[in-house]
Amino acid sequence: MTMSAARPGATDGASASSPARYEDAVLGFRNHWYPAMFSSDVRETEIKTLRVLGEDILLKRVDGRVYGVRDECLHRGFQLSKKPECFTKNTVTCWFHGFTYNLADGGLVGIPSDPDSKLIGKLKLRSYPIEEHKGMLFVFIGDIEPPPLSDDLPPEFLAEDMHVVPFHQQEVASNWRIAADSASELNHTFIHKRDALLDYWRQPLPFAEIPRGNNPYEGWILHEGPGFKGFTDAFGDAIPVFEYKFECDGEVGVVRAAYDPAVEPGSVAFGNMEATLALPCGLRIGPWGANPGDPESANYWHYEWYVPVDETHHRYLIAWGSKVANAEEALRVEHDVRTRWSYLEYEGFNASDITANEGSQRAYAEDGYEFGEKENLSRSDGYVLTWRRIAAKHNRGLQVRYGGKK
């Protein structure tokens, strides 16, 4: 993978690779891999654009491989994607003055008005390492030699027998950390208590969980060794909450989950599920059952990401994976997800997450909002604190606005 050169005469928008504070990471963590798009979004010869962590990238697929370069000419800043010209398959020529770049490494290969310029072969447009796996494109945003992609993914995503079906992506109007914080804890499932998916599934998803012991942090598996960094919450380690009672001025309020395992048998074993949140911003949760009411069919893993776009938006991507033994099983999973779960899961469940995250953005964006100060109001908020602590400890640097260092 070729590393991109810094712009001439410019200190780049990159920081060092020392870990950044979570509070500061409004644009995300630098020097990580991020999912960018689905493979099917970029067909051969096609040019697409992407904004990730505040950087604008031009993508093109050439002979099957996708390349990415900064979407801005070195010369006078013209947005290359506005009118891209490709006079050979692996180059992009700036429409403005004809500066031409090699897509593979961003290298300048020609200038119409200065054909013998010494800068040719020397200057480089920033180029972005890109890898493609399981129907998804991953882009590395950083300055260091990229680590293995698997270091930046939730577990088993790249496993050979994992068949993955990416099925939803959209931009969400909230900072990425609101989504990551929510993903770290099971108490936000209060939003899902009436979601259509649960009705279909006969799935006893609680709307909160209470730590069993006095120490809310015990029972979690921290991943701080080699490979991906993050933590796993095994649902069975806490007490699931299916009923919520409170009293106010003599009146009692009662809220119950749509599906209650105490009175409705035959459901998936909730206690076997787990959620793993991994740096920089990916979640795996499962296993989910393929057949309503059949715990034995629990063979689906839900993967999702909250990729920083800018200070107030993130890109939400969802993929489902299932372990398969052969191509026939993979095809069955493919059909099953695309014809059934893609709709049930998004419309009937994850759309609520988007509402929740967007509904918190105003408070986060307010001048003076003390980031993270409020989360420690219930014992279960230890989830969020733990995620932030691990994220702050293991990230590889702060992303700052291009040019923002000066």
For residues 111-130, which are near a second copy according to CB under 8 A? 111-115, 117, 119, 123
Residue 280: asked if its preceding bond is cis (omega within 30°), the reply is: yes
Where does residue 347 rank: exposed (0-12), middle (13-18), buried (19+ CB within 10 A)? middle
How far is the C-alpha of 42 from the C-alpha of 38, rounded, in Å?
Answer: 8
Pairing outcome for strands 127-128 and 65-70: antiparallel
Binding mask 64-93 for a second copy (x = CB under 8 A): --------x-xxxxxx--xx---xxxxx-x
Within positions 137 to 156, which residues make up the interface with a second copy, using CB under 8 A?
Answer: none
How far is the C-alpha of 173 from the C-alpha of 388, rounded, in Å?
Answer: 21
Q: Which of 8, 148, 213, 266 binds a second copy (CB under 8 A)?
A: 8
Least distance from C-beta 135 to a second copy, angstroms?
A: 27
| 17: DSSP letter | S
Enumerate residues 6+ apart whose C-beta is below 8 A from 324: 161, 162, 163, 330, 333
Number of residues that bind a second copy (CB under 8 A): 88
**CB closer to a second copy, 152 vs 304:** 304
Within positions 49 to 68, which residues make up the interface with a second copy, using CB under 8 A?
Answer: 56
Residue with tokens 């059952």: 289
Enumerate residues 6+ apart whose C-beta is below 8 A from 228: 150, 151, 152, 153, 154, 155, 278, 279
Alpha-carbon distance values, 341 to 76, 166, 289, 337, 346 (Å)? 47, 11, 11, 5, 8
**CB closer to a second copy, 266 vs 404:** 404
**CB closer to a second copy, 56 vs 237:** 56
Least distance from C-beta 362 to a second copy, angstroms?
A: 6
The helix (H) or strand (E) run that includes residue 323 is strand 313-323
Least distance from C-beta 381 to a second copy, angstroms?
A: 8
Alpha-carbon distance values, 115 to 67, 112, 119, 170 (Å)? 25, 6, 10, 43
Least distance from C-beta 68 to a second copy, angstroms?
A: 17
Q: Is residue 100 part of the contact set for a second copy (CB under 8 A)?
A: yes
**Phi and psi of 394, rounded to 5°?**
-110, -5
Least distance from C-beta 406 to a second copy, angstroms?
A: 5
**CB closer to a second copy, 155 vs 216:** 216
Binding mask 325-364 for a second copy (x = CB under 8 A): ------------------------------xx--xx-xxx
Within positions 162 to 221, which residues make up the interface with a second copy, using CB under 8 A?
Answer: 178, 181-182, 187-188, 190-191, 207-210
Within positions 232 to 291, which residues make up the interface with a second copy, using CB under 8 A?
Answer: 241, 244-249, 251-255
Least distance from C-beta 99 to a second copy, angstroms?
A: 7
